[in-house]
Amino acid sequence: MKFLNLIRWKNLLMITFVQLLIKYALLEPYGASTRLDSFGIFILIVATICIAAAGNIINDTCDIHTDFINKPDKLIVSKSISEQTAYNLFIAFNVIGVGLGYYLSYSIGKSSFFAIFVVISALLYIYSTYLKQLFLIGNIVVSILVACSILIVGLFDILPEITELNRQTQLFFFKIIFNYAVFAFSINLLREIVKDLEDIDGDKKTGMHTLPIVLGEKLTKNILFTLSLITATTLFIYVFNSLYKNIIVSLYFITLIIGPLIFTSIKIFSVKDKITYGQVSNLFKIIMLFGMLSLLLYKYILLK
């Protein structure tokens, strides 16, 4: 169980679930031309979660001193798993993930796509060892990488099948995937800021320069509220302009995504302790889950 917690198995399960939803709830049923068969999407998923697992491991390895202060009861590396074992696992997962990425890129005739896996793997390492200490940059980078775990399905499954005849249809589906990637980026950025608020004590003592340390807790909460409100407003405008004729879909977005997003952004002002910050972080994760589950509603959107 310690190993599963180290690799953040729940997050990896979420990545797997979302990539399967994109493939089998969006692309396959509604006429998109796709390159990956079932084995291909399996390889893509395994490659993605291996690299993500490696990133989680190196992040915990680099955060030993911070986690010892912020969450000693959840400390895994150096307590339940040695640093050397963790580092070996980091290397192994990266080798498997990048190796599968090379195989997949070559098999679809897009060898250059192999660079995507290398860059993501490198960025996860740089994030853990350096970028996360910097003002806001680390938050943005890790949120971009979360978005990439969604966008990568479109890159490997849709783009290789674009022709002059189907270009408009293919780009339509790619745009949908891109919109979900932007949503994932936005919610994850909010969650990263909340996690920085939660970990402010340990981050201060280890010399980090996160948003709440540089700007203060009160101003960070105001920024978090503003960003949440911008995200909720953008979603509401999208629903109003594009989905208003679909009552089921509109209600889904308003009650399970936009409403909870506004509630969570307001709740942040009443947070006084680490436990409540953790609850707010989990609320953002639930909002993201419901956002991804909306992929199941395209039968009401595309077949109206």
Instruction: Render pLDDT for 22-75 as a digit per residue (tens, 0 to 9).
Output: 999 999 988 899 999 999 999 999 999 999 999 999 998 987 877 777 777 778
Residue 178 has pLDDT above 90, yes or no: yes
Residue 21 has pLDDT above 80, yes or no: yes
pLDDT of residue 303: 58
pLDDT, one tens digit per residue, over 254-285 is 999 999 999 998 888 888 787 888 889 999 99
Q: What is the CA radius of gyration of the chain?
A: 20
pTM of the predicted model as reported, rounded to 2 decimal places: 0.92
167-173, long-range: CB within 8 Å, 24+ apart, which pairs?
Answer: 169/31, 169/32, 169/33, 170/32, 170/33, 173/26, 173/27, 173/30, 173/32
Burial bucket for residue 227 (CB in 10 Å: 0-12, 13-18, 19+): middle
What is the DSSP code (8-state) at residue 257?
I
CB atoms within 10 A of CB 252: 20
Give 216-242 pLDDT, tens digit per residue. 989 999 999 999 999 999 999 988 887
Give per-residue burial for 59-70: e unless 16+ CB within 10 Å, then b: bbbbbbebbeeb
pLDDT tens per residue, range 113-148: 999 999 999 999 999 888 888 888 989 999 999 999
Across all residues in the chain, what is the average pLDDT?
91
A 10 A CB-CB count for 241 gives: 8
Residue 138's closest CA among 225, 66, 74, 218? Answer: 66
Instruction: Please provide the size of the chain in residues.
Output: 304
